[in-house]
Amino acid sequence: MALSKDQVLTMNDGKKIPVLGFGTYCYDPVQKKTCEEATKVALEVGFRHIDGAYVYETEEQVGRAVRAKIADGTVKREDVFYTGKLWNTFHRPELVRKCLEESLKKLQFDYMDLFIIHSPYSLKPGADLFPTDENGKFIYDKVDLCLTWEAMEACKDAGLVKSIGVSNFNLKQMEMILNKPGLKYKPVINQNQNKMLAFCKSNNILLEAYSVLGTQRDKNWVDPSRPILLEDPVLNAIAKKYKQSPALVALRHQLQRGLVVLVKTFTKKRIEENMQVFNFHLSDEDMKTIDSLHQNMNYVKKDPFAGHPLYLPPDDN
C-alpha cells in the first residue's frame, strides 16, 4: 500500500481527510502552554490534519497557530483539515450549535472541517466540564443521541461544519444512529480505540485511531500497570529490521490497515519524526506479525462512564 504525506481518504460525503492527524489533547496544564508552538511546527513539517476538541481547552492556541501559518504563507485555510468535538455537557439538541459556535469563536474559524460527538455519554449541562456530586461521581444527563445527531445535521446544513461523525461509539450505538428514522447524513467517521474496522468498512464509515502508541499515561484515564507498547520485543525487532523507531512502525501498521491515525506529541523532534512514517513500507508478513500482537486489551483503566443510565459496554477489541 503506497502512502505519501499528502495521502487522503474519501469520506462517505465525498469530502477528503488526511490519513495522519496531529493531536492537541494535553492533560498537563504546563505542557498546554506549548500547544501553540507545537501546532506551528506540525504545520511546518507537513501535517494538514489537526485534531482538537472543546474539552481539550487548547482551541485558542491551535487557532492562533493556524492563523500564524496562514499569515506567513505556509498554508491556506482550505489546506488545513480541522476536527472539533461536541463535549458531553452539550448533548441536548438545543446546546449542540452553542458548543460548536463557542469552539469556532475560540479558534476564530468560520467553519470546521469535521465535528464529531466526543462520547455517547451525556453529562449535566453547565460550565463544569466534568460535573460531579458530593461523592465525586459524575452527574449524568439522559439524552436521546438520535436527537443530538439531528442537531449535528442542522449544523452541517447551516454551513458551520462540512462533515459530521462520532467518537467512542460501539457497534450498538453506531447502529442506533444508522437505523434512525429520517437519517439525513451518516456519520463519516468513528474515532475509536476499539476494533470496529470491518463494521465501519461495511457501512462506508472511516475508522480513526487514537492513542495508537499507548504512551499517554494520564493517571485519570490510563491503567499504569498496562505494558508499554513501544517496549514490545517483537515490535522492536521489526523496527530494527526497517531501521525505524518502534513508534513509526506502530503508526505505519495502522495506516496500512486503512485507518486514519492521530498522533500527539509536543516535542519538535518527535513531530518531525512522525512525518517519516511515509518513507517505508511494511511487508505483508510483518503486518501479520504485528497483527498477532493483539491482546484484546484497552489502556483505559476503567470506563469512566460505566455508571451512566444508557451505558453500553465496549465491544471486544
Residues catalogued as catalytic = 56
Q: Phi, psi at residue 195, to the nearest 5°?
A: -85, 95
**16 neighbors 206 (Cβ within 8 angstroms):** no
- Catalogue the E-assigned strands of 194-300: 206-209, 260-263
In the block, residue with C-alpha cell 484497552: 298
In the block, residue with C-alpha cell 449542540: 96
**Residue 101 grid coordinates:** 459556535
Q: Phi, psi at residue 84, to the nearest 5°?
A: -120, 170
Q: Is 45 exposed, middle or buried (0-12, 13-18, 19+ CB in 10 A)?
A: middle
Instruction: Report d(CA 149, CA 141) in Å as an integer.
Output: 16
Facing residues of 262 across strands? 21
- Catalogue the E-assigned strands of the chain: 8-10, 16-18, 20-23, 49-51, 81-86, 112-117, 161-167, 189-191, 206-209, 260-263
